[in-house]
Amino acid sequence: MKAAVAAGSSAIARAKPRREAGGFSTLYKKELADHFHSARFKLVFALLILTSLASLYGALSSISDATFSSSEYLFLALYTASGSSIPSFASFLAYLAPLAGLAMGFDAINRERSQGTLNRLVSQPIHRDAVINAKFLAGVTTVFMMIFFVGIMVGGLGLAVLGIPPEAEELARIFAYLLFTVVYTALWLGLAILCSTLCKHAATSALIVIAVWIYFTLFASMVVSIITNIVYPLEGIEGYYNLYNNYALQLDLERTSPYYLYCETATTLLNPNVRTIGITTQASVSGAIASYLTFDQSLLLVWPHLTVMLALTMAAFTVSYIAFMRQEIRA
């Protein structure tokens, strides 16, 4: 009898982790389904597709010029070239990818709370953190799908038009660029979930994350320029000696912006002729031989950018995780 009871207890102990893990899996699939069936997802996805098609049209118009027809790495021009007053694919994503992350997360927690479903979720026989983990991972998965879809779509349509297959080096650069774009978007997703966790109303969290997005994409460079010109004025004779320090400070402050880090990384990965992302002086380029960097060399240049972006993403999610776990949730 005792042996049967012990065996039953052991079976229950073994089954409990599986039930909890299954709870996370169920929540993850539910969040994915909610994203894929939402009008918000369809609108953002359609916007990304339309802007990608527009950028492809502009790129193909530029590639048809003599400037691009004889150049190497022609396939990469599909993502970097702009024409007919249409920004490039990379330029579009620098602005629109954050919106995709914000749209997927600005009401992730407070919407559940306002609808009264959050209490029912945390009362289920699963770990409480499975709720926020599932929301974040489902959002990242959704973002990954959207970014890679439009990226592959641009490459596939460009290949059909150009008829020139990409080299392995180009494919590696495009894959790394798209992967970094997912990380960049995940950062904004993490910020959106953080605001959704801390703010009671979805409208409040939406206004905050949109304000942050507008600042970093439109106004951060202007603020940095004002600060650097105050610290190191460029007027008069003194300005000649302040030029280097002015630019160095400006570069350091610019790199506090996720938008600037992303643009610098995208330019380096998609343009093999970019040999440095720091300050270039006459002495540093004297005697240098003009040549393309290999993919490994370009990746080495932007590795700190990727590290910082990952750290910021994890920091945003960690703060939202801690805040969610400490919140009192009532019916």
Q: Is residue 179, in this structure, part of any structural domain at all?
A: yes
Q: How far is CA 17 from the centre of its chain?
A: 33
The answer to whether position 216 is within a domain reads yes
Using alpha carbons, list the distances in angstroms from residue 118 to 194, 195, 331: 16, 16, 8
Q: Is residue 1 part of a domain?
A: no
- What span, in angstroms and rounded, lies between the C-alpha atoms of 208 and 260? 20
3-state secondary structure string across 82-101: CECCECCHHHHHHHHHHHHH
By C-alpha distance, which of 270, 226, 228, 267 is closest to 249?
228
* Residue 269 CB burial class (10 angstroms; 0-12, 13-18, ≥19): buried
In a domain, 9, yes or no: no
Gap between the Cα atoms of 219 and 171, Å rounded = 34
Give phi and psi for 271, each to the nearest 5: -130, 95
Which ranges of 86-235 would DSSP assign to H, the alpha helix?
A: 89-105, 110-115, 118-122, 129-162, 168-198, 202-214, 220-231
Which residues is 86 bridged to in the sheet?
83
The answer as to whether 176 is a domain residue is yes
In a domain, 312, yes or no: yes
In the chain, the number of structural domains is: 1
Q: Is residue 314 part of a domain?
A: yes
N residues, the chain: 331
Gap between the Cα atoms of 37 and 30, Å rounded? 11
Cα→Cα distances 251→228, 268, 275, Å:
10, 16, 17
CA–CA separation, 298 and 211 (whole Å): 33
How many beta carbons lie within 10 A of that of residue 15, not counting itself?
11
**Any domain includes 154:** yes
Structural domain that includes position 102: 23-326
Q: Over its length of 331 residues, how does the chain's per-residue pLDDT go in tens digits? A: 444 444 444 444 444 444 445 478 989 999 999 999 999 999 999 999 999 999 999 999 888 765 554 567 889 999 998 877 889 999 999 999 999 999 999 999 998 888 878 888 777 778 888 999 999 999 999 999 999 999 999 999 999 998 888 999 999 999 999 999 999 999 999 999 999 999 989 999 999 999 999 999 999 999 999 999 999 988 877 777 888 888 999 999 999 999 999 999 999 999 998 877 766 655 444 445 567 889 999 999 999 999 999 999 999 999 999 999 988 776 5
